[in-house]
Amino acid sequence: MTPIDSAHTLGNLLRGARKQLGLTQADLALAAGVGVRFVVELEAGKPTVRLEQVLRVIDALGGELQLDGLADQTNEETAHHGA
């Protein structure tokens, strides 16, 4: 697993996954329901892309987003709301 510490790192990882699957940017855009320009900007590391569209692209590539190292807030919220 590769840590993602910047928009550039994410873009590079997604570009590599797309190429490994043999997809063009247009193929990926169609599969994800986003525009080709969005895929181009995402792969270039543009920092202002929309998260919902990023998640669609990740899903279209067969991936999922996971966060590691963060406290599990669901248990804490349940405890605080139940009190």
Per-residue confidence at 21, pLDDT binned at 50, 70, 90? very high
Is pLDDT at 75 greater than 90 in this prediction? no
What pLDDT was estimated at residue 78?
46
Domain regions of the chain by residue span? 7-66
* CATH number for the segment(s) 7-66: 1.10.260.40
Is pLDDT at 49 greater than 80 in this prediction? yes
Per-residue confidence at 46, pLDDT binned at 50, 70, 90? very high
Q: What share of the chain is helix, strand, coil (3-state, %, to 5)?
A: 60, 0, 40
The pLDDT tens digits for 23-40 are: 999 999 999 999 999 999
Spatial neighbors of 12 by CB under 8 A, at least 6 apart, are 43, 45
